[in-house]
Amino acid sequence: MTDNNNTSKRPLILVSNDDGITAPGIGFLVQVMKEIGDVIVVAPDSPQSGMGHAITVGNSLRLDKVNIFEGVEAYECSGTPADCIKLAKHYVLKELTPDLVVSGINHGANTSVSVLYSGTMSAAIEAAIEGLPAIGFSLCDYRQDADFSHVLPYVKKIAEEALNSGVPQGVALNVNFPINSNTPIKGVKVCRQANAHWQENFDQRMDPHGRKYFWLVGDFVNKDKGEDTDEWALSQNYASIVPCEFDLTAHHVLSKLNNWNLD
């Protein structure tokens, strides 16, 4: 990165996503972040939805400077969202430390268990692993031409509050917004991840050469009736914030496993 930002008093904000650097959602996110800080973008050169926390270890990576956001230094990377954060921190930014890392705005929800499959959140979680304050933003609207206008004030408010109050160490925030509708967003709820899952199936097809192939299809099923979940908040037209940690240890079962006979 050029060092003109180095002396700036404005916060330095790193932006990434998983829909790819040309997706409208990241354009909106850059636009909002420019209002509150100096922005640098490192994002995938192609869609990476569903990449989870994948990193590129068996192949090399490309990183190219692009000029697609006015007045913003931006790079496209051939790798995953997690790769983008690693390249941003260790190659692009070098000794500069971003004050905030934001990812998104994803075209589509990343609620409940979907956080594990989400490239948007893997960028934010990778940043948290690197000790950086991070937020992933998603809109519950998969369409390429999704309307983001109603969420922009909330994105700004949440990012500013993260800069002012600090995101707790070891945590990345998973923010989801309801689709634009006649009902305005009621506010923001801090939530836990709903205990929901995808009820999956495979659509079997035959290729022109007579060989079978499969498409993953599925319905999201939420049996969690709690009114403290991200799914509940969104169903009531609130934005949801779930703090996510990357230590997966299920502490509550350690004592049970210690009773196993393994000698």
In the annotated binding site for a divalent metal cation, the residues are 18-19, 49, 106
Closest CA to 175 of 238, 133, 223, 220: 238
Known binding positions: 18-19, 49, 106
Quote the tokens at residue 189: 């709820």
Residues 175-204 that bind its own copies (CB under 8 A): 187-188, 190, 192-193, 195, 197, 200-202, 204
For tokens 């007045």, the residue is 71
Smaller CB separation from its own copies, 14 or 82: 82
Please, is 227 exposed, middle or buried when counting C-beta atoms within 10 Å of its C-beta (0-12, 13-18, 19+)?
A: exposed
Closest CB to its own copies among residues 8, 228: 228
Residues 60-79 that bind its own copies (CB under 8 A): 60-63
Closest CA to 117 of 133, 86, 138: 138
Q: Which of 36, 55, 179, 185 binds its own copies (CB under 8 A)?
A: 55
Among the candidate windows 9-17, 66-74, 83-91, 97-105, which touches its own copies by CB under 8 A?
Answer: 83-91
**Residues from 121 through 150 that contact its own copies (CB under 8 A):** 122, 125, 129-130
Give long-range contacts, CB 8 A cutoff, 24+ apart: 212-220: 220/112, 220/114, 220/196
Site size toward its own copies, by CB under 8 A: 79
Tokens of 181: 């509708």
Which lies closer to its own copies via its Cβ, residue 91 or residue 179?
A: 91
Span near its own copies by CB under 8 A; candidates 32-40, 58-66, 98-106, 144-152? 58-66
Enumerate residues 146-165 that contact its own copies by CB under 8 A. Answer: 154, 157-158, 161, 165
Which residue, among 40, 35, 16, has the nearest Cα to 153 in the 3D structure?
35
Classify residue 85 by its DSSP letter. Answer: H
Question: For residue 57, what are the CA distances in angstroms to 13, 41, 119, 172, 244?
Answer: 27, 22, 17, 24, 25
Q: CB–CB of 196/221 below 8 Å?
A: yes
Residues of this chain, 195-254, that bind its own copies according to CB under 8 A: 195, 197, 200-202, 204-205, 211-216, 241-251, 253-254
Rounded to 10 deg, the angle between the 152-165 and 24-36 helix axes is: 50
Ranges within 32-51 binding its own copies (CB under 8 A): 47, 49-51
CB of 27 to its own copies, least distance (A): 20
Shortest separation between residue 48's beta carbon and its own copies, angstroms: 9
Q: Which is nearer to its own copies, 63 or 179 (CB)?
A: 63
Q: Which of 52, 66, 163, 235 binds its own copies (CB under 8 A)?
A: 52
Residue 143 or 205 having the CB closest to its own copies: 205
- Say which residue the tokens 């049970």 belong to: 256
Q: Which is nearer to its own copies, 87 or 102 (CB)?
A: 87
> What does the CA dihedral 141, 144, 147, 151 come to, rounded to 10 degrees?
60
User: CB of 113 within 8 A of CB of 198?
Assistant: yes
